[in-house]
Amino acid sequence: MPHVEIKFSNDISLDVNTLFDQIESVINDLDSSAGVCKSRAYPAKTYKHSHVKIDIWLLSKQHRDDSFSQALLNSLRECLIVNISNHCYLSVQLHYLDTNYLTMELSPN
């Protein structure tokens, strides 16, 4: 289950829910085994220069190699250009988690 964090200066108008859906779709178009993305957004009221920083965490898997990473970054670039209309700086970082990461879905009784 990928994680997506969007940090952005609050002078940028973002429809973060649409952006979450679009990013999840881009990831799943390239890797149908990825599944849903846990997503969070953090607008910053104090900043220098308008910016959007997107961090994406994925589990390390054999097929998620350099070629996959470049294809994912290219697809994300196209998606973000369409979905961010403000002038700003944009950064996207892919992170790969190792085997020492535990994730699960909890359902309280």
Q: Hey, which residues does 22 pair with through a beta bridge?
A: none
Which 3-state string (H, E, C) describes 36-77?
Answer: CCEEEEEEECCCCCCEEEEEEEEECCCCCCHHHHHHHHHHHH
| Tens-level pLDDT at each residue, the chain (109 residues) | 899 999 999 999 899 999 999 999 999 999 999 999 999 999 999 999 999 999 999 999 999 999 999 999 999 999 999 989 889 999 999 999 988 888 778 888 7
Domains of the chain in start order, with CATH, are: 3-97 (3.30.429.10)
Overall pTM > 0.75: yes
